[in-house]
């Protein structure tokens, strides 16, 4: 029961610390563009994907040609 004397104030302190950290991030505009990251994931650049796939296929072709 004596441990509650330590645990309750420390948990209240950590909770308030987390609340103040959250308020600080909101006031410093950390959450201004939540849709931007979601849209960047959905709309990838097709040229980059094709370039990566083409380079992998070229490496495979070069390995097949050089082998006897």
Domain boundaries, the chain: 4-66
Q: Give the pTM.
A: 0.49
| DSSP codes, 49-64 | HHHHHHHHHHHHHHHH
**Which segments of the chain have a pLDDT < 50?**
47
What pLDDT does 47 receive?
Answer: 47
Residues 6+ apart with CB under 8 A from 31: 25
Alpha helices in the chain (DSSP H): 4-27, 34-42, 46-66
At 49 the pLDDT is 59
pLDDT reported for residue 62: 54
């Amino acid at each position: 029961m004596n441990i509650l004397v330590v645990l309750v104030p420390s948990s209240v302190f950590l909770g308030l610390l987390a609340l103040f950290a959250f308020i600080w991030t909101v006031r410093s505009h950390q959450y201004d563009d939540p849709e931007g990251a979601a849209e960047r994931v959905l709309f990838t650049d097709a040229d980059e994907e094709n370039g990566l796939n083409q380079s992998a296929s070229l490496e495979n072709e070069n390995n097949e040609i050089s082998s006897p």
